[in-house]
Amino acid sequence: MRNKQRTEVLHSGAVAAADGSIMDVRGYTSVNVQITGITTATVTFQGNVDGTNFVNVQAYDTAGRSLGSIAIANGTYICDVTGFKNFKADITSWTSGTVVVTANATVDPVPQYDGGDIFSITVDPTIQTSAYSLKDLVCEKLTFSNVVRRDGGMAVLQTITVIDLDGENSELWFVLFDRDPTNTTFTLNSALTVNDTDADTQLGLVKVFASDYIDHAANSVAQVSDIGLAFTLSGVDLFVAVIINTANTYTATGDLRFKFTFLRS
């Protein structure tokens, strides 16, 4: 019989990107993770069922009240590991800090945070460093898992935030799909041509204009608020294409970060 709780240190003073220790979570329902020592680093939460192949898992940021598969700040995070074999928290990027990650597996019921609450998903797309032309795809098709709680469930897109580490301030168009547009080919640095078969899967379009950005010394940020785009999904996942409408060139493949905030019923 499993103990009701078990604590393990997954990283002890890490000063470089590194895989975390693998935690056996069979028989447990949730893992509470505490991260300290981050200055500039990314911790990615992962789990598996087959004991071999890890995939990203969602964690609830108890301070920011948001869901995401990564942590870029110190804090406490809660992951649902019901039915999982293993859990880990890899440091997938590191610039500075002495990172400590401590995990506590428990058999206590998993807290439910999303019933009518606002939650957010953060994604770090891989973009191109070659020049973009007008209406080119910025990145691969984005997949946001479990945006709604059940097949055909409803949510509302409230805000989109763009963090631009290169300060290019590009006009970006976000095209949302209610299911995977499998008949459409997504090619980076090329125009998006939605296949006629997928045309009806488009939920809507949200534009971030160059005038929406605020410039900082080395980067910029833009936010479109009060979008109020209500939708239902054919399944539970949301798919997004990102189109650039400015002829810009980025310095690094990690220069963009997107944050989507939803209200889920």
Domains belonging to the chain, first-starting first, are: 5-106 (2.60.120), 118-264 (2.60.120)
Distance CA 34, CA 221 (A): 28
**Cα of 12 vs its chain's centroid, Å:** 25
Share of the chain above pLDDT 70, in %: 94
Does the pLDDT of residue 117 top 70, yes or no? no
User: Could you read off the pLDDT of 66-110 as tens digits, one per residue?
Assistant: 678 899 999 999 999 999 999 999 999 999 999 999 999 998 766
CA angle 89, 150, 24 (to 5 degrees): 25
pLDDT band (50, 70, 90) for residue 115: very low
Say yes or no to pLDDT of 112 above 60.
no
CA distance linking residue 61 with residue 83, whole number of Å: 21
For 60, the token pair is 């609830």
How many other C-beta atoms lie within 10 A of the C-beta of residue 30? Answer: 22
Q: For residues 75, 56, 183 and 232, what is the CA-based torsion angle, rounded to 10 degrees?
A: -50
Neighbours of 21 (CB within 10 A): 15
> What pLDDT, in 10s, does the model give residues 214-249?
999 999 999 999 898 989 999 889 999 999 999 999
pLDDT band with cut points at 50, 70 and 90 for residue 11: very high
